Amino acid sequence: MCDIQLDDFKQKINVEKYKSDICIIRNLFKYKQLGPENVSRVVTETVLRVRRFRKLSISEKAGLAIHTINFLIEELIPGRDAPMEAILKLMVPDLVEQLLFLNLNTFCPCM
C-alpha cells in the first residue's frame, strides 16, 4: 500500500481504495523512469481518478491531485531533490487545473 497522508479527505472519499489506485499508477512506472516525456500519464491517470469524487469541490480535487502527483514524483524519481523532481513539481499545478476544468463530456459522452 502507498504511504501517502490523506487524513484531510477521510470524510469525503474511500481513502483505502484511493491508495490502491495510487499504487496502480506508481506500478505503471515500475520499469520505466518518470520524466518530462511521460509525466502527463501520471497527471492524467491521477486527475481521472480524482474527478470521480462527487463530494469534493473543484479546489479540493485540485489539491488532492497535486498532493498525489507530487507524492508519486518523489516516489518515482531516484535520488533526493533531483533537479528533474523540482521541474516536474512546478509543472503539476497548471496541468491539473487545466484537466479539471476541461469538460471531458464534449469529447466522450461516457464521462
Q: Specify if 1 maps to a domain.
A: no
Can you give the residue range of the structural domain that contains 32? 7-106
Q: Specify if 2 maps to a domain.
A: no
Res 102: pLDDT: 78
- pLDDT, one tens digit per residue, over 19-78 is 999 999 999 888 887 777 888 899 999 999 999 999 999 999 999 999 999 999 888 886
Q: What is the domain count for the chain?
A: 1
Query: What Rg, from alpha-carbon coordinates, does the chain have?
Result: 14
Q: Specify if 57 maps to a domain.
A: yes
Q: Per the confidence metrics, is the pTM higher than 0.95? A: no
Confidence of residue 82 (pLDDT cuts 50, 70, 90): confident
Q: Specify if 111 maps to a domain.
A: no
Contact partners, residue 21, CB within 8 Å, separation at least 6: 49
Q: Specify if 43 maps to a domain.
A: yes
